[in-house]
Amino acid sequence: MKRTGSSKGAVRHLRVVLGDQLDRHSPALADVDRNHDVVCMFEVAQESTRTWSHVARTAVFLSAMRHFAAELEEGGITCDYARLGHHSCDSLEHALAEAVRRHRPARVVMVEPGEWQIEQNLKATCAELNVPLDLRPDTHFLVSRDAFAAWAGQYRQLRMEHFYRKVRKDTGILMDDSGEPEQGRWNFDTENRGSFGTRGPGMVPAPPHFAPDAITRAVFDDVRRHFPGHPGDLASFGWPVTRADALLALEAFMRDRLPWFGSVQDAMWAGEPWLFHSLLSAALNLKLLNPREVIDAAVTEYHAGRAPIESVEGFVRQILGWREFMRGMYWLDMPAMRQANHFDHNRRLPSWYWTGTTHMRCMHEVVGQTLAHGYAHHIQRLMVTGQFALLAEIAPREVEDWYLAVYVDAVEWVELPNVAGMAIYANGGRFTSKPYVASGAYIKRMSNYCSGCRYKPEVKSGPAACPVTTLYWHFLDKHEEVLLRNPRTNLMAKNIGRMKAEDRQAMRETAARMLDALDDL
């Protein structure tokens, strides 16, 4: 890969491309002048060390960045690429300041960063150096930050479903000719909650594996050298790191897995990390793929009769609904979202979140596949690792940092609202109607995890008690009054009132023992 420190003349625009902005059609590159502009890209260790990042997460970012820079240079664009170990800048703002001093551009051009703190830091750096910053709206998303804020301003309660319906109407996606939702329903959520029963998922089509090329292998060497002891494994790394590979991954999902995605999208099965999921989140978040093209591909499958509505609507809802909604909420609520701690939880994250070494088979499976691949699907993140962190009263910052560290798709604008807003209710139900909690019976119904577990999902107290179940009842016990007042949790909370006094006491004692020794579970 060619590395040039200066353009072919005086530098007019320094175009900064961050690691999650790898879109050749980005507004930051739209009007690039090959003779007078320089594109700057920075690899900085801090992005992998401020949360103790999984090696595959770091490798996905660095490999995709290096491939992207190589493509720009092949297209005649001058790239000043700060490679890990080849510079002494410890942060993005430091690297930007050095680049500005080196090139003395008339202005810095970039697309608004995905992360609130990075935007603050880069703006401050440009202001300090007295260089104009042309910060352009991020057109990757279907709904701009301003449009989301305008929508949110009309409501007292912010709900994804209302937002999703509005965007469906505005875009015409999955709408019929008379302006009604396809097949007369906005939402096929009830058809999306199936499990595999006792027989399991059967043959699951293997997702494509993109064998590491020379660039990716060099990244592996750098990751091992610069981040020794970081969690995770690179042995099975096969993520798409170029747009061409991301398009192949998209095509394979549409062909092989989308038709089955809908009915079992919440189901889990030991030893089956991928199931019928798309595995496209990292490629989307790096911007190798555009959400619009992913949605269009799914809708095409529906109209061609190759995928049923519950799969296509279920998939479109995740991207057009949840992904856009989470991004909007993040920008609406930052920086307060990062401080939120509704329940005032302060316990440390159990050490087995970093090793998978626990007797709880559900946690062992989900943490294990997370460490092996940097991947877990939505329900594994929400109802296994996420809800356990809530029930175990873990400090939100500990939980948030873990999620930001361990997934290949982890970027704060989507990680934080999912963790603080959905999984651990740290923001007090700002955009959900209730905390997402369930006993071990839910995990038993949705997976085969409980069958090989030392604990019993139906047992609330004593040595065989399932920690998920015991801590679920403990949560209801502790928050009974508030939960009784909420119509969405009233039924659940009434159950604790029906528990015999001695059973309740035994459950409390078991819960107290568990909470005191979370590392030993």
> 105 or 291, CB closer to ligand FAD?
291
CA separation, residue 137 to residues 146, 321, 513 (Å): 10, 20, 51
For the window 297-326, what string marks contact with ligand FAD as x by the rule CB under 6 A? ------------------x--xx--xx--x
Question: From ligand FAD, ligand SF4, none, which one binds at residue 220 (CB under 5 to 8 Å depending on kind)?
Answer: none
Size of the residue set binding ligand FAD (CB under 6 A): 29
HEC per residue, 35-53: CCCEEEEECCCHHHHCCCC
The answer to whether 427 contacts ligand FAD (rule: CB under 6 A) is no
* Amino acid in the structure at residue 105: P
Question: From ligand FAD, ligand SF4, none, which one binds at residue 11 (CB under 5 to 8 Å depending on kind)?
Answer: none
CA separation, residue 337 to residues 45, 89, 92, 430 (Å): 25, 29, 23, 10
Q: How far is the CB of 520 from ligand SF4 (least distance, A)?
A: 13
Q: Is 502 exposed, middle or buried (0-12, 13-18, 19+ CB in 10 A)?
A: exposed
Question: From ligand SF4, ligand FAD, none, which one binds at residue 457 (CB under 5 to 8 Å depending on kind)?
Answer: ligand SF4
Nearest to 418 by CA among 445, 379, 446: 379
> 56 or 390, CB closer to ligand SF4?
390
Distance CA 398, CA 165 (A): 34
The answer to whether 167 contacts ligand FAD (rule: CB under 6 A) is no
Q: How far is the CB of 237 from ligand FAD (least distance, A)?
A: 16
Distance CA 54, CA 236 (A): 13
Question: From ligand FAD, ligand SF4, none, which one binds at residue 279 (CB under 5 to 8 Å depending on kind)?
Answer: ligand FAD
Token representation of residue 479: 């928050």
- For ligand FAD, the binding residues in 211-250 under the rule CB under 6 A are none
CA separation, residue 488 to residues 29, 437, 494, 496 (Å): 48, 12, 12, 15
User: Which residue has tokens 């969690």?
Assistant: 231
| Strand ranges, E, within 320-478 | none
Question: From ligand SF4, ligand FAD, none, which one binds at residue 466 (CB under 5 to 8 Å depending on kind)?
Answer: ligand SF4
Q: What is the contact surface with ligand SF4 in residues (CB under 6 A)?
A: 360-362, 440, 443-444, 449-450, 453, 455-457, 466-468
> 447 or 461, CB closer to ligand FAD?
447
> 210 or 472, CB closer to ligand SF4?
472
The answer to whether 253 touches 205, Cβ cutoff 8 Å, is: no
Distance CA 32, CA 109 (A): 10
For the window 381-420, what string marks contact with ligand FAD as x by the rule CB under 6 A? xx---x----------------x---x-xxx--xx--xx-
The site for ligand FAD (CB under 6 A) is made up of 277-281, 284-285, 315, 318-319, 322-323, 326, 377-378, 381-382, 386, 403, 407, 409-411, 414-415, 418-419, 422-423
